[in-house]
């Protein structure tokens, strides 16, 4: 197996791993999620609740986000939480709800995988697997999702450098799975006014260094609902290929992340503005 790395003509201070490197693969990679392509001129928006709570919630939210222009539904069936006493998701029951609503409404979906033992189960349902920030350097999990051949949304670790992020993606790529999307979701800094610090520097930097698509999560990146639209617009202006964000039909009743979830009306209004920004940078949102 080829193990050399190559130097990129950007002063990063590190070498980019070969399979992720734009120098070795100059053309943009297009990731196909059940007919939806991420990495092309269209900016793809993924939206939905933090966690699946019941069938009404996911059904109503799916209809709302699709009608507003989202192309991929997001939702957690297995939820990693900082506290073991908080809602952990519905497990396979939630996965079945998500899969049914996805097929009924003709919108592919992404959901998080937390453990190597879940990969086979989730691969039977999901159109794309998300590896969350807590698991960015869970190398056995990265290898497993690399072997399963499903598209993978890889989130940046909350205290990880861009170099570490690219090396994590390389673990998936070396297994033969080139369908990888990188997601900037905020890093932990000294700032306490927001949940995380959304590192939009990472977007143009990653676009220079790698051929993989780059999306941004302004929900986790800020944790503050009122500034999510502004950061979503900024992400598009910075060159992001897509956005992933939390939308709940009743955020005030959400079992997790309600404070950073847009309601359907807010999401629809934001999408109108995002189309204008996309057009300004020669991209588009259908």
Q: Domain ranges for the chain, please list them.
A: 44-280
Q: For the chain, what percent of residues have pLDDT higher than 90?
A: 89
Residue 195 has pLDDT above 70, yes or no: yes
Q: What is the pLDDT of residue 235?
A: 98
- Close Cβ partners of 170 (under 8 Å, ≥ 6 residues apart): 17, 18, 19, 20
Percent of the chain clearing pLDDT 70 (strictly above): 97
Inter-residue long-range contacts of 93-96, CB under 8 Å, 24+ positions, other chains counted? 94/51, 94/52, 95/52, 95/121, 95/122, 95/125, 95/126, 96/125
Q: What secondary structure letter does DSSP report for 192?
A: -
| Mean pLDDT score of the chain | 94
d(CA 47, CA 27) in angstroms, rounded, equals 27
The 10s digit of each residue's pLDDT in 61-82 is 999 999 999 999 999 998 878 8
Q: What is the pLDDT of residue 9?
A: 62
Bridge partners of residue 111, in order along the sequence:
129
CA–CA dist 95, 91 (Å, integer): 6
How far is residue 12's CA from residue 251's CA, in Å, rounded to a whole number? 40
* Spatial CB neighbours of 32, under 8 Å, sequence gap ≥ 6: 151, 179
Backbone angles phi and psi of 240, in degrees to 5: -65, 145
206, 177 in Cβ contact below 8 A? Answer: no
Q: What is the pLDDT of residue 118?
A: 95
24-59 residue pLDDT tens: 999 999 999 999 999 999 999 999 999 999 999 999
**CATH of the structural domain 44-280, one choice from 3.30.2010.10, 3.20.20.70, 1.20.930.40, 1.10.3720.10:** 3.20.20.70
Chain centroid to Cα 60, Å, comes to: 21
Instruction: Give the pLDDT confidence score for residue 88 in this predicted structure.
Output: 82
Lowest mean pLDDT among 78-92, 161-175, 257-271: 78-92
| Residues whose CB is less than 8 angstroms from the CB of residue 69 and which lie 6 or more positions away in sequence, other chains included | 45, 271, 275, 285, 286
Tell me the pTM.
0.94
């Amino acid at each position: 197996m080829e193990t050399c790395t190559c130097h990129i003509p950007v002063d990063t201070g590190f070498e980019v791993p070969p399979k992720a490197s734009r120098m070795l693969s100059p053309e943009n990679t297009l990731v196909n999620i059940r007919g939806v392509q991420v990495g092309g001129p269209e900016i793809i928006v993924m939206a939905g609740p933090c966690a699946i709570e019941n069938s009404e919630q996911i059904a109503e939210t799916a209809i709302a986000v699709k009608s507003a222009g989202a192309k991929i539904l997001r939702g957690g069936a297995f939820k990693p939480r900082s506290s073991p006493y908080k809602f952990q998701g519905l497990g396979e029951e939630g996965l079945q709800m998500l899969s049914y609503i996805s097929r009924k409404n003709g919108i592919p979906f992404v959901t998080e995988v937390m453990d190597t033992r879940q990969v086979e189960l989730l691969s039977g349902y999901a159109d794309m697997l998300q590896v969350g920030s807590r698991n960015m350097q869970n190398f056995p999990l990265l290898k497993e999702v690399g072997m399963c051949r499903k598209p993978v949304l890889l989130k940046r670790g909350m205290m990880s450098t861009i170099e570490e992020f690219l090396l994590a993606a390389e673990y998936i790529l070396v297994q033969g799975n080139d369908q990888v999307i990188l997601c900037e979701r905020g890093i932990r800094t000294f700032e306490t006014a927001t949940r995380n610090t959304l590192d939009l520097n990472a977007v143009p930097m990653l676009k220079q260094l790698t051929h993989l698509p780059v999306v941004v999560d302004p929900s986790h990146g800020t944790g503050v609902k009122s500034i999510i639209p502004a950061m979503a617009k900024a992400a598009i202006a910075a060159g992001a290929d897509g956005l992933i964000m939390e939308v709940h039909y009743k955020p005030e009743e959400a079992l997790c992340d309600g404070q950073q979830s847009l309601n359907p009306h807010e999401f629809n209004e934001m999408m109108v503005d995002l189309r204008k920004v996309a057009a300004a940078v020669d991209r588009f949102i259908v």
